[in-house]
Structure formats: C-alpha cells, structure tokens
Amino acid sequence: MKGARPHGPAPLVIIGGAEDKTGDCRVLREFVRLAGGARGKLAVMTVASEHASEIGAEYVRVFQRLGVKTVDPVEVTSRAEAASDGVLEKLGKATGVFFTGGNQLRITNLLGGTVIDQLLRRRQEDHKVVLGGTSAGAAMMSSTMIVGGASETTPRAGVVEVGPGMDFLRGVMIDQHFTRRGRAGRLLAALARYPHQLGIGIDEDTAMVVHDGTFRVIGSGAVTVFDLGQATLNNVLELKGDAHLALCGARLHILPDGFGFDLHNRVPLPAGERPRSP
C-alpha cells in the first residue's frame, strides 16, 4: 500500500451489500485504492457463498475493470482446504482480501481458528493487507456477529440471533442491507443486551471505512449508528415470550457519504472533519 509510514492496523472496508459493480463503483473503487490500486494484489474470498465460482468470477471482472492487474479468486469449501498451500500463498502476498456475500456462518464455520484466520489477522494488524467485505462479508467483521433474524420487526426477544464473529473490529455489532431490509428492530434487539457495543447498520451500496479508531462513510446510502450507552431504560432482562422491548434514551446518528465517526469516543465526525487518511 501507499504511504510513507503505515501505522497501526490496515483499514477495513465494510460494505452493506449490493454495492454498485457496473457504474462508477465508488465503494469498490475505494477498496481498490486502499489496497494498493492497480498494483495491488487482490484475493476474492468466496467462502460465504454456495455459488463460489460465479461470484468469484464476477468480482474478478469488476476489480480488473477498475484497473487491478492481479486478482485471484480463492475458493474454500472445507477447513482442510483453508490450510492448503495454494490458499495460504495467495493470502500471504495479497494487499487486499475481499469477502463476498453469502452466509456469514459459512465464513466463521470454515475459516474460524484456521491458519487463514491467523494469517489475515496478523497481516491486517501489521498494515499489510486491507480487508473488505460485503453483506455476509461485512457481518462477520465484528466480534459479535448478527447471524440472522427477522426483518421489519419492532425489537422483541427472539427476533435476532448473534454469535462470535471473526473479530476484526471490536466493540460493534454490524448489520447490513440495513434500510432496504428494515433491520433496525433486530439490531436494537441484539444491542439491548450488550449496550457497551455500538450498533452499526450499513445500507446497500455504502461502506464504513475503518481506520485508526474512526470510520468514514462512502456510498449512496448511509450508516446508522445506535448508541445505547446513555439509555435510561431498557427492559431486555425482564422480557418473556415475544414481549416487546422497551428502550428509552438511545442515541441515533445517521451518517451519509463523507461523514465519519469516532468509535472510541462515540462521537460523529462532520463531513469536513475526515479522519486522517490511511
């Protein structure tokens, strides 16, 4: 990657799904830029998908169209395969690894705890590889992952399932296809039990680009942040059956393109005040 002296972990590009692949491709173009541009070496991880070949070929075409010379699809269909020399070689030299959509449980189930997992984490922390992911590839980024749940529901007990994610970004729970699929209810239901985490809903064709404890937003939608840190009432511990969550005093931030957020201090950053460029 460019930059005289990279510092800290490399950026994460976390996309809410359905990003533009035929037009200006602003979101994917930003991933490419951060991952080294035309000279970057990209790997497309299709592990989340049951249609790995098709989806891999699609992203290879898109990244090539965006000027990248070296793009390799990486198919992993078993934990054994995740440890194969071919896979490790591609990921060991990649400057950008992109996780496609599919089912986030396939990512944790096939990659969690493998040498790939360790390799990617170490290289990301050493600022050697930018990780990107869309849809399922976004959901898995956080420590606690939203596995699934109901859409267009008000927050109730039982409307959302969470589990351990791949832990590339701590302190948040991420949901994707956020507005389009009406997922505020399930994200709030998940968050009500863990108000020390931030709830982050990413719209389609929109990404949060995380670097240095902040993120900024790029794309045609918005990133919604729920902060329950100062909530005055939250009855989640008393809920029984399908009773309805009560929640008072939550904070809500809606951050479109250009806006940012300080993850440590839980403060939005106006569009003018971009975090330092990686």
For residue 158, give Cα distances in angstroms to 61, 140, 148, 255.
40, 20, 11, 28
135 catalytic residue (yes or no): yes
Compute the least distance from the CB of residue 19 to its own copies, in Å: 15
**Which stretch, 76-84, 128-136, 138-146, 215-223, contacts its own copies (CB under 8 A)?**
215-223
Residue 169: strand pairing partners: 142
Site for its own copies in 138-167 (CB under 8 A): 152-155
Q: Please, which residues have CB within 8 angstroms of residue 51's CB and are 6 or more apart in sequence? A: none
For residues 45 and 263, which CB has a smaller minimum distance to its own copies in the complex? 263
For position 102 contacting its own copies by CB under 8 A, the verdict is no
Q: Give CA 181 to chain center in angstroms.
A: 17
**Which stretch, 28-36, 103-111, 138-146, 253-261, contacts its own copies (CB under 8 A)?**
253-261
Q: Is 8 left (phi over 0), alpha (psi -120 to 50) or beta?
A: left
Compute the least distance from the CB of residue 194 to its own copies, in Å: 16
For position 268 contacting its own copies by CB under 8 A, the verdict is yes
Count of residues interacting with its own copies (CB under 8 A): 38
* List 8, 244, 274, 277, residue binding its own copies (CB under 8 A): 244
Burial class of 193 by CB neighbour count within 10 A (0 to 12, 13 to 18, 19+): middle
The helix (run of H) or strand (run of E) holding residue 216 is strand 214-219
As a whole number of angstroms, the distance between CA 148 and CA 162 comes to 7
For position 249 contacting its own copies by CB under 8 A, the verdict is yes
- Using DSSP, state whether 1 is helix, strand or coil: coil
Compute the least distance from the CB of residue 263 to its own copies, in Å: 15
For position 229 contacting its own copies by CB under 8 A, the verdict is no
For position 79 contacting its own copies by CB under 8 A, the verdict is no
Burial class of 173 by CB neighbour count within 10 A (0 to 12, 13 to 18, 19+): buried
Q: Which of 127, 135, 142, 211 is catalytic?
A: 135
Q: What CA dihedral angle connects 64, 111, 264 and 33, to 10 degrees?
A: -10
Which residue is associated with the tokens 């990686």? Answer: 278
As a whole number of angstroms, the distance between CA 32 and CA 41 comes to 9
177 catalytic residue (yes or no): yes
As a whole number of angstroms, the distance between CA 258 and CA 127 comes to 23
Query: For residue 139, which of 96, 169, 95 has the smallest C-alpha distance?
Result: 169
Compute the least distance from the CB of residue 210 to its own copies, in Å: 18
* List 5, 24, 248, 276, residue binding its own copies (CB under 8 A): 248
Compute the least distance from the CB of residue 233 to its own copies, in Å: 6
Q: Which of 177, 220, 264, 277 is catalytic?
A: 177
For residues 98 and 215, which CB has a smaller minimum distance to its own copies in the complex? 215
127 catalytic residue (yes or no): no
Binding mask 162-191 for its own copies (x = CB under 8 A): -----------------xxxx-xx--x---
Tell me which residues are annotated as active site. 135, 177, 204
Footprint of its own copies on this chain (CB under 8 A)? 152-155, 179-182, 184-185, 188, 203, 220-222, 224, 226, 232-233, 243-257, 259, 268, 270-271
